[in-house]
Structure 1
Amino acid sequence: MNRIPTFVLAAALAGSAPGFAQDFSRRPITMVVPAPAGGASDAIARSLADTMGKALGQIVIVDNKPGASGMLATQLVARAPADGYTLLVTHTTPIYYAHYTFAKVPYDVRRDLAFVTHICDASLVLAVHKDVPARNMTEFIAWAKTRKGHVSYGSYGVGSSGHLMSSYLSESRQLGMSHVPYKGEAPMIQDLVGGHIPWAFATAGSLSPHFMSGQLRPLAVVGEQRLDDLPGVPTLIEAGFRDPEFKIIGGLTMMVPAGTPAPVLARLEKEARAAIQTAQLKARFQVFGLIGVGNSAKEAREGFEASGPVIEKLVRISGARMD
């Protein structure tokens, strides 16, 4: 699909942009999601589509386009007409991490895409198998040091936020741990529960049943606040791990093609942020252990820019470069 030059679109829409910003009646809106149906990303996107569709007076269709670490879907949106009818609801990998981990990325986030809002943060938890003799981070580090060179950790993919933070923890505390990558979170957690790996970072929603069964134990939460479902578990910051590298977390972001007219972008931002505050979305966030954000487009862009140097450092330390 050939992309229409931004200046042509802007000129064509200039005369009618204010009215168009209030009218999405021309055709259904497509919300592209770089994940298969059934997961957290898909569930959140469908709730957003339903809520925003009602507010905009239009059908919003969710189009699942998994593949290439999310880059397939992101490229599709980056090349779509900048008219407000194509949205991207994506996890962080193709937006925040891809340019640092892949040699070739078929789009440039700064040039080809515009932020609408950061939808939510993923509440990653450092979890250990029940047989690991540690009930807090101090005991965990002490245990790992006694087994230096003989401890492994799992991740849900090379270059994922879980991989980068685990690698940084090992390197910065000189623990000599080995990385065991998995093709997704589910198989990683299965091996964690089975004792094949002793610890890993994973999402709270996926870990919760295993915390309740006693098979796994939570030691710390990534981010700046404790989780409502795990009120007794401290953040890594509270546990004394104040490195900025431990503040990088995953989540979902909404974007549109660059060059989308300002009035259209403003309307989408308004309705997306309102949807994120509804009971429907809050219930979805809770199910998956996510923390609703819904910031402004400007704030979302600033957060993206601020994260770059930290992610670049984490990728360099982990060696998660895919050429």
Structure 2
Amino acid sequence: MKTSTRISGPLPALALCAAIALPAGGALAQSGYPSKPVRIVVQYQAGGSTDTIARMLGEGLSKRLGQPVVVENKAGAAGIIGTDYVAKSAPDGYTLLLTVPGPISFNLALYKKLPYDPRTDLRMVSDIVTPRMVMVVNPAVPAKNFKELVEAVRKEPGKYAMGSWGPGVQPHQLQVFMDKTYGTSTLHAAYKGESPMAVDLLSGVIPMTLGSAATMRPYIAAGRLRALAVAGPTRAKSLPDVPTFAEQGYKDQIYTITGSISLMAPAKTPDDIIERLGREVVAVIKQPGVRKRIEELGLEPVGNTPAEATAAYKAFLPVALQLAKDTGVTLD
């Protein structure tokens, strides 16, 4: 026999409120996000282009999220320290990572053991900007294009050194590729950053590098460096007069690959938070003033969805890993 209990007064309304407050798959539990400041961790010291982008992004997100967005610099160990910190942070949307490609791609091939795995410990929110790489030489080098550089390097084995900001990074990859492919004999000059490398390039201590357009463009404009080619499928907006490697007949993947500076979060961050952050990032990057500031830095704005950023990372990763492995370099 069925029995029923009739409750009178305000209790049904209270019960209804309690039911509404219960989380449904985690989504409603996060409906108040964000309720406190959000941190964006940058893996490098303040003042660089990644740090500048982080602060620009943080400013825009703060207005849209209604909470302060603070940039925190955790530099060291080729980006490993900052990346590991975020990977092990609470997956609640309050600690994010703005990362260049190396710590989430090349490092997997270069280091025998990493304290994190970007493929399983982090997830994409959005690609923010695309840095463009440009092959530059000191004006003392006679080459006016990349073919002439290859010929000049081949004629004088051991004379030419390729500057880079560390073992296994893109300039080092190119140096190894040139020697293997064109029969050249070059040296690798590793620095602790792009800035000290640029100083020696300008003074003629090293003759060439594949550097970021953001760093090299002012020196190119002043005639202190000569640009020979840009990497990527198209010309760089910041260097429209410089042809791509492909335009000059060099179409291997090392000449066409481009990686992005991306915003990531701990892997278990709820989908609703990731989607919210993704929407807000897209809105910030679409702002004309923000796009103009990005382009003035020699970078190219992206601002895509989490799904698009994830797909781009999955496509980029195997190519990046193979290029890093081809250098033969491993680090402890």
With normalisation by structure 2, the TM-score equals: 0.88
Q: Pairwise mapping of residues 141-160 of structure 1 onto structure 2 (< 5 A)? A: 141-160=150-169
CA deviation digits over 1:62-89, x for unaligned, max 9? 1111111111111111111111111111
1:20 partnered with 2:30:
yes
Aligned to 2:82: 73
CA deviation digits over 1:131-186, x for unaligned, max 9? 11111122122212211333211111112222223322332222121111111111
1:268 partnered with 2:277:
yes
Distance 1:14 1:36 in 2: 41
CA deviation digits over 1:37-59, x for unaligned, max 9? 11111110011111011111111
1:94 partnered with 2:107:
no
Cα 1:322–1:230 change in 2 (3 A) is same
Q: Which of structures 1 and 2 has the bigger CA Rg?
A: 2
Amino acid in the other structure paired with 2:80: M
Distance 1:283 1:103 in 2: 41
Amino acid in the other structure paired with 2:265: V
Amino acid in the other structure paired with 1:320: V
1:46 partnered with 2:64:
no
Q: Pairwise mapping of residues 95-174 of structure 1 onto structure 2 (< 5 A)? A: 95-174=104-183
Q: Is the 8 A contact 1:33 1:45 kept in 2?
A: yes
Distance 2:25 2:229 in 1: 54
CA deviation digits over 1:268-300, x for unaligned, max 9? 111112212223432332232111112222222
3-state SS, counterpart of residue 238 of structure 1: helix
CA deviation digits over 1:187-219, x for unaligned, max 9? 111111111111101111211222122221000
Distance 1:307 1:250 in 2: 7
Stretch of structure 1 that moved more, 134-143 or 272-281: 272-281
Distance 1:185 1:321 in 2: 21
Question: Residue 64 of structure 1: which of 73, 80, 99 is its match?
Answer: 73
Gaps of 5+ in 2: 1-21
Moved over 6 A (4+): none
Q: Is the 8 A contact 1:161 1:249 kept in 2?
A: no
Report the number of matched residues: 311
Aligned to 1:3: none
Aligned to 2:250: 241
Stretch of structure 1 that moved more, 265-274 or 202-211: 202-211
Tell me which of the two structures has the higher relative contact order, counting C-alpha pairs closer than 8 angstroms and 6 or more residues apart.
1
Amino acid in the other structure paired with 2:110: T
Amino acid in the other structure paired with 2:170: S
